[in-house]
A and B are shown apart, each in its own frame.
Chain A
Amino acid sequence: MEVKVLRAGMLTTVQDLGRRGHMAEGVPFGGAADPFALRVANMLVGNPDGSPALEITLTGPELEFGGPGWVAVCGARFEEVPAWRPVRVEAGDRLRFGKRVHGCRGYLSISGGFDVPEVMGGRGTFLAAGIGGFQGRALRDGDMIRTVDSGRVLTGRWSMDERMLPHYSREPIVRAIPGAQAREFDDAFYSFRFGITPRSNRMGIRLDGCPLERKSNTELVSTAVAPGTVQVPPDGNPIVLMADAQTLGGYPRIAHVAAVDIPLLAQLAPGDGVWFARTTVAEAHALARAEEHRIALLRQGLAEKIRNA
C-alpha cells in the first residue's frame, strides 16, 4: 500500500537498525536513535527485526493509509495515538499524532515495513550525506511512501506488558563505562544532574548544568568514537554522541554510555535531565544479554498472536 504524508511533523525519517562495515569510510552506524522502540514496534506488527519504520521527533505527523494493514507506535507517547500495541488501519484511515505527552522520539512501524532501497547496507536515513531512507531526506508534506506487502494476520485487543520496557524517564540514571581520559576529571560527572539542551539532535545530546574541569591540557589525537561516547569539549559541557555522530572525535572521552541504556537517552527532550552511574564493560554486556532475553520472550509471546495468512 501507499502511505500519504499529510503533514510531516518536525523531523520524521525512515530508520532501521543502522549500517555496519562503513565506519572506516566515515559513515556512522546511524539507524534508530532508540533501537529498542524500533525493534518492538516491528515485532508488534509481525515484521522482521530491523524493518524500516518512521522515527518521529517531538511533533508527530499526520498520515493517511492507502490500504488495510497494521501499525504500531512505540517510544515517545503522543495524544490520540495508542502506544506499544498493534492498531488495525483500513484504506482511507488517517492517523494524526496529537501533542507529545513524554519522550522525544516515536517509532511507527507498518506491517511489511516501508519500501525504501538499501544504501551502503542500510535502509535508514543518514541526513548529513543525504543517503538512505526516503530519498535521503526527512519526510515532507505530500510525500507518498510505499510499504512492502505482508501476508501476516494479527489479532488486536492486547498490548505490551509495560514491565518489559526499559526504565524510560524524564530523569533517567544511565550507566556509563569510564573512558580513556576519565582520570583527567573528578567525580562530578557521576554526582550531578545534567540538563538536556535544545542543541541536541541525532548526532549528539548536548548537556549543561555542570561544566566539567579537565585536569590536563594535553592535546589529543583524534580516534574513532561511537554512539554513547561522552566527549567533553573545552567549555566543559559534555556531549553524548548519538546514532549519526561523526566517526572520529578529538575531545577528551570521559565515559561511554552502555548500549543497553542508549534508548533512555534517545527519549530525552530539551528540559529533561540525566544522571550517570559508573559501570563496567562486563556488566554492560550482562545487561545487554538480559535485554536480548527479554526481547526473545516478547517475540515468543507474540508468535502466538501472529500467524502467516
Chain B
Amino acid sequence: MKLEPLGDTAVVATLGAGIDPGTLASVRSYSQALVAAGLKGVTDVVPAYATVTVFYDASRFAESPGGAYGEVCAMMEALAGRASSAAGGPEARLVEIPVCYGGEFGPDLPALAQHCGLPADEAAALHAGAEYLVHAIGFTPGFAYLGGLPERLRMPRRPTPRSHVPAGSLAIGGSQTGVYPVASPGGWQIIGRTPMALFRPTQDPAAVLRIGDRVRFRAITPAEAESWR
C-alpha cells in the first residue's frame, strides 16, 4: 500500500494498479475498516477503483513533528492489514435496475447496434444479460461506474458531450456503463432509461448503489416504466 498526500486535506492510499475485481475487493474492505474505526479528524473516506482517499480536518490535530498528515498516515497504516479481510461493513448486494432500452429513452442504441454489428434488440439483450460491478461512485451524486461490460458493447464516448442527459439515463462510455442518477451534461452513449431513483437526497444513504455492489439490468416496456412511478 502506497500513501501520498492529496493536497493539504487528504491522504490517498493506492492498493493496486488498474481496474480489477481483486483490487476492488481490497479497496472495499479497507475503506469499510477506515469508516468503522471512526478515525479522529477524518471527515470522508472515498473508495474508487484502486484507491481509498481519506479526507481530514487538519485543525483537529495538535502540532506534532509529523503533523496532521503524518498522524493520518499512521492511523491508515495501522489498519492496512484490513484491506485483505472482511471488515464487517454493509454486505455487497445484487441490485436489479429496470430499464427501458432504446426508443426515445435510448437515442444512441441504434448507433451502438451499428457499432457492434448486432440488431438493436440483441445489443440491448446482451447488455441486460451481463452482471456488473460498482467500481466507484462519483461524477454526479450517486453515479456508479460499472465494470463488466461485454467486450462487444464497448464504444467510445460521443465526440461532443450532450448538454442535458435526463435523470435515469443508462449509458456506455468506453469499457464502462452506468446510470445518470441526476440530470447533467454527459458524453456517454445513451441506450435506455430507468424509472428507478438512484439518488434520494432525503434518505440515508442517499445513493442507492455502493462500491462493490453487483448490478443487473432488467428490460421493461415503457408501460411498465410508467407504472413503476
Contacts and interface: CB of A to CB of B under 8 A. Distances in A.
Interface string B135-162: 0111111110100000000000000000
Contact of A128 (B145, B184, B207): B184
Interface residues of A, number: 41
B59 A289 contact: yes
B19 A221 contact: yes
- Pick the most buried of A25, A120, A128, A180: most chain B CB atoms within 10 A of its CB: A25
Given A24-B46, A224-B53, A229 B6 contact: yes
Interface string A213-231: 0000000011111101100
A285 interface: yes
Contact of B53 (A179, A223, A246): A223
A129 B211 CA distance: 20
A256 to B, nearest CB: 3
A248 B43 contact: no
A26 B6 contact: no
B7 A259 contact: yes
B50 A25 contact: no
A298 B142 CA distance: 40
Interface stretch (B8-16, B78-86, B189-197, B214-222): B8-16
Nearest to A175: B8
Nearest to A246: B139
Nearest to B68: A285
Q: Is the interface of A mostly helix, strand, loop or mixed?
A: mixed
Interface in A126-157: 126, 128-131
Interface in B192-226: 199, 201-202, 205-207, 211
B59 A177 contact: no
B121 interface: no
Interface stretch (A15-23, A66-74, A106-114, A265-273): A15-23
Contacts of A289: 58-59, 63
Interface in B49-75: 49-51, 53, 55, 58-59, 63, 67-69
A20 B43 contact: yes
Nearest to A23: B44
A285 B141 contact: no
Given A25-B207, A26-B141, A226-B55, A288 B8 contact: yes
A130 B202 CA distance: 12
B45 interface: yes
A27 interface: yes
A238 to B, nearest CB: 14
B136 A222 contact: yes
A177 B4 contact: no
A282 interface: yes
A22 B46 contact: no
Contact of A284 (B7, B10, B145): B7
Contact of B136 (A248, A257, A285): A248
Given A24-B137, A119-B201, A226 B45 contact: no
Given A24-B211, A222-B49, A285-B69, 17 more contacts: A25-B205, A26-B138, A26-B143, A26-B199, A120-B206, A131-B201, A180-B6, A221-B49, A222-B145, A223-B6, A223-B53, A224-B6, A224-B12, A246-B139, A256-B5, A256-B6, A284-B7
Closest 4 CB pairs of A and B: A256-B7, A248-B138, A224-B53, A284-B8
